[in-house]
């Protein structure tokens, strides 16, 4: 102990990791760290990781599937003890093949055989049913969807919920436009809606960023919200409550989501497969971009 102080000795975590075959690092892959949805997940995950002695290595893949694979490969070579992947865009086959090589894995918003990875999914289907029901209750009949990437599992679930609910009301989806999941995507989407010439009185968006971009264009074109067109987003990011008019949205407990994913991952690392899959219910938050309940 005297020598420790004398030489300012620090244990070398690398060497320790090599010996005990555990790096003490868990990876977290997110599509875009600049999208405010993900930092809260990261924070939840990190808050759960540190007390358990793990360091969180979070990687941003800037919405690029090739980079997603490359990053996952890097993490595996670093012998991370486990990996959490948010909204993976890879094909099932490639994803499962790679993830199988991990000691432990948890997928957020993607399903997988429980032997390969634990899963945490937001029930966007149910959430979107609530959103559509609310719109129809307020006499909206011409509903459009500003969707996300086709490769996104969450996008498919949202669409499924929307179609199902519309069907229940004897309605059809007026328009379905894929958008990149950011403000620019919403701007482009809005233009596509307006240029289509179709009658639209409500737009549901894949996420709040798209909704915010859309809102900007509609206001510019002097379209009254919600009078002419009601808008609903998804995620409930900070900006959703701040824009004008404030945005109705599906709130997702993002920090809880991250923490739950991390706890599940640690359970799997320790070979305790207590819970195999968790489903989180989003909550419909009504603000001025749709009329009251």
Partner DNA sequence: ATGAAAGCGCTAACAG
Partner DNA sequence: CTGTTAGCGCTTTCAT
The yes or no reply on residue 4 touching DNA (CB under 7 A) is no
Query: Which one of DNA, a copy of itself, none interacts with residue 76, CB within 5 to 8 A by kind?
Result: a copy of itself
Residue 109: closest CA among 260, 271, 6, 249: 260
Kindly identify the residues of this chain, within the stretch 222-281, that bind a copy of itself according to CB under 8 A.
238-239, 242-244
- Counting every residue written for the chain, the total comes to 293
Task: Write down the least CB distance from residue 54 to a copy of itself, Å.
Answer: 10
Burial category of 217 from C-beta neighbours within 10 Å (exposed 0-12, middle 13-18, buried 19 and up): middle
Contacts (Cβ under 8 Å, ≥6 apart) of 180 = 63, 148, 149, 188
Which lies closer to a copy of itself via its Cβ, residue 111 or residue 241? 241
Q: Are 274 and 267 in contact (CB under 8 A)?
A: yes
The yes or no reply on residue 214 touching a copy of itself (CB under 8 A) is no
Residue 125: closest CA among 87, 166, 159: 159
Task: Sketch the per residue contact string, 19 through 48, with DNA: x for CB under 7 A, - otherwise.
Answer: xxx---------------------------
Task: Write down the least CB distance from residue 265 to DNA, Å.
Answer: 21
Q: Are 123 and 282 in contact (CB under 8 A)?
A: yes
Stretch touching DNA by CB under 7 A, among 6-14, 129-137, 205-213, 243-251: 6-14
| Rounded distance between C-alpha atoms, residue 17 and residue 196, angstroms | 58
The phi and psi torsions of 84 (rounded to 5 degrees) equal: -110, 130
Look up tokens 């993607």; give the residue. Answer: 110
Query: Which one of DNA, a copy of itself, none interacts with residue 124, CB within 5 to 8 A by kind?
Result: none
Which lies closer to DNA via its Cβ, residue 2 or residue 20? 20
Which lies closer to a copy of itself via its Cβ, residue 47 or residue 175? 47
Both tokens of residue 107? 């997928």
Q: Which chain residues interact with a copy of itself by CB under 8 A?
A: 8, 10-15, 17-18, 23, 25, 33-34, 36, 38-40, 42-43, 46-47, 55-60, 62, 74, 76-79, 101, 183, 212, 238-239, 242-244
């Amino acid at each position: 102990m005297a020598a420790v102080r004398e030489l300012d000795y620090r244990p070398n975590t690398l060497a320790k990791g090599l010996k005990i075959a555990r790096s003490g690092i868990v990876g977290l892959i997110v599509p875009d760290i600049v999208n405010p949805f993900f930092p809260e997940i990261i924070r939840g995950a990190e808050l759960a990781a540190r007390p358990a002695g793990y360091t969180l290595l979070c990687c941003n893949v800037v919405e690029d599937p090739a980079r997603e694979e490359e990053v996952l490969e890097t993490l595996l070579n670093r012998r991370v003890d486990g990996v959490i992947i948010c909204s993976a865009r890879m094909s099932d086959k490639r994803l499962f093949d790679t993830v199988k090589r991990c000691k432990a894995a948890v997928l957020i918003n993607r399903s997988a055989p429980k032997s390969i990875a634990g899963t945490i999914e937001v029930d966007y289907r149910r959430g979107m049913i609530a959103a559509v029901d609310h719109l129809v209750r307020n006499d909206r009949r011409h509903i459009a969807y500003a969707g996300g990437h086709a490769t996104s599992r969450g996008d498919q679930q949202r669409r499924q919920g929307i179609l199902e609910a519309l069907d229940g009301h004897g309605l059809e989806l007026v328009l379905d436009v894929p958008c990149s999941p950011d403000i620019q995507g919403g701007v482009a989407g809005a233009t596509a809606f307006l240029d289509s010439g179709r009658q639209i009185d409500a737009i549901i968006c894949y996420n709040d960023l798209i909704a915010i971009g859309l809102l900007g264009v509609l206001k510019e074109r002097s379209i009254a919200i919600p009078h002419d067109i009601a808008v609903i987003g998804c995620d409930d990011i900070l900006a959703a409550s701040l824009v004008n008019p404030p945005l109705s949205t599906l709130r997702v407990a993002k920090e809880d989501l991250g923490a739950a994913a991390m706890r599940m991952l640690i359970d799997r690392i320790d070979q305790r497969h207590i819970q195999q899959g968790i489903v989180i219910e989003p909550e419909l938050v009504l603000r001025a971009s749709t009329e009251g309940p």
